[in-house]
Amino acid sequence: MLKRVFLTGFLLVTLSSMAWAQKTITFASDCTWPPMEMMSEQKECIGFGPDLVNAMAKAGGFNVVIQNTAWDGIFAGLAMGKYNAISSSVSITEERKATMDFSDPYFEVKQGVVVREDSPFKSEADLAGKTVGAQIGTTGYFAAMRIVGDKAKSYDEVGLAITDLANGRIDAVICDDAVAADYALMNPDYADKLAMPFVIVPDEPEYLGFAVKKGDSETLEAINKALTAVRDSGEYDQIYKKWFGSE
C-alpha cells in the first residue's frame, strides 16, 4: 500500500514538473542594498530589484530563483557558474564589461553622498582629505577612491558603513543615490541623524544592468526580452512608483 502511494506521488511529481518544464534563471542578489534589494523579516529578498525580476519572469515565461549572495565575490560566483545572472544593482562599467555581459540598462543611478546632519560638506571638493566609506567593489567605492585616495574605507555592506557614519567614525558614505536617499530620508533610525547634501555628477550617465556570464547569450536574450515586455506593459512604472513614490 505504502509503496503504491509513493509510486503515485513520484509519478505525479515527475509529470507535473514535466508539464511545468520552464527555463529557470537563478539570480544572485546581495540583499543589503535598500530599497533596491533588501531582506524582509520573512527572510525574503524584497525591493525594487526582486519585484522587477519577478515581473520579468511572468512576462518572459521563465521561473526565477533569487539567491542571496554576499557582494564581495558575487562576480566570482557568476564566472564559476553558481547562478545564471546577477540582479544586485550592478552598475554597467567598462571594467566590468570586460569580464561579464550586461543586459539593457534598467535604472539610472548617480552616486549619492551621505553625511551626518550637522556636517558642513556641500560639494565634492569639501570631502578632500576626509575619511569616506563605501561598500567594497561598488561604483561608490570607486568614486571615494577617486576623491580621497587611500582615505577611502571599504566595508562588506553599505549598512556597516552607514552605522560607522552615524557613530561618528567616518565623515561620509558614497553609494547609489536611491540607497543614499533611503538611509538619509526614509530610514527610521537614521533619517534625523543623516543627510544627503549632494550627488556626484558623473561625466557619463551610470546605469544598472543585469549581469550574465560572458558569452551566455541565451540568458541575456531571455532577460532583455522580458525587460522590454515589462517596460512596454507599464508594469515597470508601477514597480517604480511602489518603491520610489513618483515616476
Partner 1 sequence: MAEKKTTIDVGDGAAIPTKHDIGLFSAWWIALIGALGIITYLSVFKPDPYWRILKFLPDGVLVTFQVTILSIILALILGLFTGLGRISKNRAVNLIASTYVEVVRGIPLLVQLFYIYFALGQVFANLPDSNFVFVFLKNMPPLVAAVIAMGFCYGAYMGEVFRAGIQSIDKGQTEAARSLGFNRRQTMFYVILPQAWRTILPPVGNEFIALLKDSSLVSILAVSDILRRGREFASVTFNYFETYTMVALVYLVITLLLSKAVSSMEERLNYYGRR
Among 65, 76, 128, 186, binds partner 1 (CB under 8 A): 76
Q: Are 195 and 186 in contact (CB under 8 A)?
A: no
79 vs 185, beta carbon nearer partner 1: 79
Closest contact distance (angstroms) between CB of 72 and partner 1 is: 6
Closer CB to partner 1, 17 or 99, in the complex: 99
Q: Which of 137, 198, 225, 243 binds partner 1 (CB under 8 A)?
A: 137
What is residue 123's DSSP assignment?
S
Name which of 7 and 79 has its Cβ closer to partner 1.
79
Reading the block at residue 181, the C-alpha cell is 536617499
Residue 141 burial (CB count, 10 A): 23
Q: Determine how many CB atoms are found less than 10 A away from the CB of residue 151.
A: 17
Residues binding partner 1: number (CB under 8 A): 25
Task: Give the residue, chosen from 166, 181, 200, 211, that forms a contact with partner 1 under the rule CB under 8 A.
Answer: 166
Buried b (16+ CB within 10 A) or exposed e, 156-190: ebbbebbbbbbeeebbbbbbbbbbbbbbbeebeeb
Cα 239-242-247 angle, rounded to 5 deg: 75
At closest approach, how far in Å is the CB of 52 from partner 1?
A: 25
List of residues contacting partner 1 (CB under 8 A): 72-73, 75-76, 79, 95, 99, 133, 136-137, 141-142, 150, 153-156, 160-161, 163-164, 166-169
